[in-house]
Structure 1
Amino acid sequence: MLSQARDPAAAPRTPLIWALQAEKAGDNAQVDTLLEALGLPVTVKRLCMGRRWQRGKPRIRANLGHLDRAASDALEPPWPDLIVLSGRRLMNVALWVREQSLGHTRLVLVGRPHGHYAAFDLIVAAPQFRLPARANVINLDLPLIEPPRVAISEAAQLWRNEFAALVRPVTAVLVGGPTQPFRFDAQVAQALIDRTLAATAGAGTLYVSTSRRTPAAVTRALARSLPPDARLFRWAAGSADNPYLALLALADRFVVTGDSASMLVEVARLGRPLAVFELPVGRGPRQRLARLRALFGHLRWRGHGARPQRDITELHRALYRMGLAVPLGEPFPASSGADGAHMQLAAIRTRICSLLGLCAGEPPAAALRTDNPASESHA
């Protein structure tokens, strides 16, 4: 039986807000950033997927069948006034909760709606999703990813002596992994190092840090390609000597592989000199299948103004346009200033306050969270 919606007149002055979170640290961090800017109390609901759905993608509908209910936080009344979420699998949960609340719960999605535009009261989308202009869509200049500034400062103190022994300038090379339709294999790893050495004229120290998505073959190729005085961190789960945060604090310039939105945006928001290594498009069967799916998606949504496929190169172009990065091979940009993120957050906050029926005056304010390590390389 559906639970009865709460009487708005009896609702508490402070709205009840849920943040839905699963295992993807990058998605969670974007929700955190938005809610910190909103500045209202939040209840976090941590949800675990059933075995089949840890990688699989269920059909989008109001349903909890893909959850491991025993391992997840309880979803029960009182139903929230607002849910903020990111990710396809959590969309089903949000739709189910709104159904239980008899339509009372408002939904704010960070990311792409996979065609379900009308299902959400507000959609906040990064540039790589290329969403059409709609009344309930805010297209961001950059994803809602904030670098963990407190943790970076702490790492700087711990690693300062080790970095003091390195020949300057230190060029941090932050390595992600393959993602459709791009190729990232041993040959591409060799090209990454060759082009980085050319861009730096071999000066200073290369400090390469791999991440959880870096294939072992790529890590081995990187090790073979590096000059003798370079440093290489091989990512491992739970490793206590991960230099990622220290690199964000102490490196002089950065080369980041173009697959990783989180690492690109963290470096950019810190205003550090950044070059993007754009991965080549693959030519194998999987890449051809991905291109066919993309074409089918464009044909399916033609006439709706939507381009549903994620395109990470849109993020690259946004970074270049804003002067926050250059393609690898061009001169490193100077350290940059603010990127306008706070102005966009203020606009999002105003829209959410309107959804909640808060007063039209000064909306709640709060400092952005600065201690949430969102990046894939140290999550």
Structure 2
Amino acid sequence: MSDIAAAWVISEGLAGLRAQALGLAEAAGLTPELRELKPGAPWKWIAAKFWPNPLAAVADAVRAPRPGIAIGCGGMAGSVLAALRRRSMRVVQVQNPRMDISRFDLIVANRHDELTGPNVFVTRTALHRVTPARLAAEAEIWRHRLERFRRPLVAVLLGGSNGRYRLDREVGARLAAELAAMASRDKVGVVVTPSRRTDPGVTELMRAALTPSDGWVWDFSGENPYFGLLALADLIVVTQDSVSMISEAAATAAPVMFAALPGSSRRQRMFLDGMMREDRIRPFGGRFSTWKVAPMNDTPAAAAEMRHRLGMPGLGMPGLGMPGLGFGG
């Protein structure tokens, strides 16, 4: 099979899903074309696994000409990919598709998905777009802008409430107080980037608590500092609701702590426990702390396996010294 330069990246309009599939495509050296799945009525109200004709439900997103490969993330993408494979496309699914795994050429699943099979490649972390090159470039962009903050520098990545965890104003106020106390007691700088999911009230509580200690909370104006903070932080604190953000933070050279939130998730607990067993992350207890770590990034290994399985020539991609867990089953 000849090298495949172009690939569709298929997902719903959720940034976390899109970033995982896009990260895999980029790491494999492909040229990704984003295709957002927007089913119309009545299919937008029906789970994709029940669609009788997935390609008709999202016709605008899958119009020809089609490249040789499609990479998708999420349940809706899984149904579409399986249908595309019946049309002779090679398809790679990120996350458990919750359907017959034989309908995919490759599935890349996190170990907390508990999915095994001859075509399932298991990773420790979520896939993402954090690379050494991107971190180095962002460090150069943001180094001067962040030099006014005290060092060591703590970057805080805020998620938001979801169906499993709660990050409302009550919880946000407690976390803001802990961060402010750490800034004062441990003499560290604190910079915070909220996400689109963060309650604006929580963001304001953070700003009010950290301003007296010369902290900074991004207000969504100007350039997004996210990758710059990842690149330059001496410690990264992430709210525990987001596997993706914890995985992105773990791909850096900085120690990572997760801020516990009220709620529960068995799969999330498995993810956190696995990362703690390897001492890549630790719980945040309100104090600055560092320990020796190495970047953990399984995206390059997953990309190399995808190229191998689909018969695509290797690109000599760096970063394969931190492999995923391999194939389950």
TM-score by length of 2: 0.80
Residues in 1 aligned to 2:204 and 2:235: alpha-carbon distance in whole angstroms: 24
Which residue number corresponds to residue 190 of structure 2? 206
The structure with more strand, counted as a fraction of residues? 2
Residues 6 and 31, structure 2, Cα contact 8 Å, conserved in 1: yes
Partner amino acid, structure 1, of 2:226: Y
Residues in 2 aligned to 1:112 and 1:310: alpha-carbon distance in whole angstroms: 15
Instruction: Decide which of 69, 89, 93 is 2:80's aligned counterpart.
Output: 93
Moved more, 216-225 or 138-147: 216-225
Residues in 2 aligned to 1:322 and 1:221: alpha-carbon distance in whole angstroms: 33
Which residue number corresponds to residue 193 of structure 1? 176
Corresponding residue SS for 2:212: coil
Deviations 1:344-364 (A, max 9, x none): 437624xx534x4x49xxx51
Instruction: Decide which of 17, 39, 64 is 1:27's aligned counterpart.
Output: 17
Corresponding residue SS for 2:164: coil
Residues in 1 aligned to 2:6 and 2:89: alpha-carbon distance in whole angstroms: 9
Residues 191 and 215, structure 2, Cα contact 8 Å, conserved in 1: yes
Residues in 2 aligned to 1:161 and 1:53: alpha-carbon distance in whole angstroms: 52
- Distance change (3 Å), C-alpha of 1:107 and 1:310: farther
Matches within 5 A, 1:1-379: 13-14=2-3, 18-22=7-11, 23-39=13-29, 41-42=30-31, 44=33, 46-50=35-39, 58-60=47-49, 61=51, 62-67=53-58, 69=60, 72=61, 74-76=63-65, 80=68, 82-99=69-86, 101=87, 104-128=88-112, 130-197=113-180, 201-226=185-210, 228-236=212-220, 239-281=221-263, 311-329=267-285, 332-339=289-296, 341=298, 344-345=301-302, 348-349=305-306, 353-354=308-309, 356=310, 358=311, 363-367=313-317
**Cα RMSD after superposing both structures:** 3.3
Residues in 2 aligned to 1:199 and 1:140: alpha-carbon distance in whole angstroms: 33
How far apart are residue 199 of structure 1 and its match? Answer: 5.3
Q: Name the % identity.
A: 25
Corresponding residue SS for 1:365: coil
Deviations 1:270-321 (A, max 9, x none): 1202110021118xxxxxxxxxxxxxxxxxxxxxxxxxx8722322222212
How far apart are residue 255 of structure 1 and its match? Answer: 0.9
Partner amino acid, structure 2, of 1:195: E
- Distance change (3 Å), C-alpha of 1:55 and 1:191: farther
Residues in 1 aligned to 2:247 and 2:205: alpha-carbon distance in whole angstroms: 26
How far apart are residue 181 of structure 1 and its match? Answer: 1.5
Partner amino acid, structure 1, of 2:315: A
Corresponding residue SS for 1:142: coil
Residues in 2 aligned to 1:162 and 1:38: alpha-carbon distance in whole angstroms: 32
Residues in 2 aligned to 1:226 and 1:119: alpha-carbon distance in whole angstroms: 51
Partner amino acid, structure 2, of 1:85: G
Corresponding residue SS for 1:367: coil
Residues in 1 aligned to 2:300 and 2:216: alpha-carbon distance in whole angstroms: 38
Residues in 2 aligned to 1:159 and 1:342: alpha-carbon distance in whole angstroms: 25
Corresponding residue SS for 1:27: helix
Query: Which of these two proteins has the greater Rg computed from alpha carbons?
Result: 1
Say how many residue pairs are matched.
314
How far apart are residue 214 of structure 1 and its match? Answer: 0.5
Partner amino acid, structure 1, of 2:217: F
TM-score by length of 1: 0.71
Corresponding residue SS for 2:140: helix
Corresponding residue SS for 1:226: helix
Residues 273 and 325, structure 1, Cα contact 8 Å, conserved in 2: yes
Deviations 1:88-126 (A, max 9, x none): 222232222223x2xx33432111112433322321112
Residues in 1 aligned to 2:127 and 2:176: alpha-carbon distance in whole angstroms: 30
Corresponding residue SS for 2:237: strand
Residues in 2 aligned to 1:214 and 1:144: alpha-carbon distance in whole angstroms: 22
Residues in 1 aligned to 2:266 and 2:31: alpha-carbon distance in whole angstroms: 29
Deviations 1:252-283 (A, max 9, x none): 2111111122321222111202110021118x
How far apart are residue 327 of structure 1 and its match? Answer: 0.6
- Distance change (3 Å), C-alpha of 1:13 and 1:207: closer
